[in-house]
Amino acid sequence: MKFGIYGTSMIAKFHAQAIQAMEGSELVAIFGRRQSAADELARELGCRGYSDEEQFFKQSGIEIVTVATPSGAHMEPALKAAAAGVHVICEKPLEVSLERVDRMIHAADEAGVTLAG
């Protein structure tokens, strides 16, 4: 499975280690708001960096994304991933309100992708 990580914070490195330790998994892309941050982490992890969300979700070849952003900033990338047909794993908590979680669940159900947290 081809993985991408959405976020460049310290927790992203832990996600990368877990992905790289799983047999059959490959980390292929990192998304960051700043291209320089995405490129720096991508070089360190041996993949490609993106700062354009559309390219990250639709052109990088990822099948699963791990959302490694601060609490309260999980819904938006999860909705974009679902719309692109990408499975989603979110850092905990899944979101900060039930309304936001419900939107994530609905989007994943509608797209036929898995949402895990």
Extract the residue ranges of the chain whose pLDDT is less than 70: none
Domain that holds residue 79: 2-116
What pLDDT does residue 57 have?
A: 97
Beta bridge partners of 65: 4, 88
Strands 48-50 and 64-67: unpaired
The domain that contains 11 carries what CATH number? 3.40.50.720
- Averaged confidence pLDDT in the chain: 97
What pLDDT does residue 75 have?
A: 98
CB 30 within 8 A of CB 5: yes
Strands 26-31 and 48-50: parallel
Phi, psi of 22 (to 5 degrees): -85, 125
Q: Could you tell me the pTM of the whole model? A: 0.96
What pLDDT does residue 2 have?
A: 98
What pLDDT does residue 17 have?
A: 96
What's the domain count of the chain?
Answer: 1
What pLDDT does residue 60 have?
A: 95
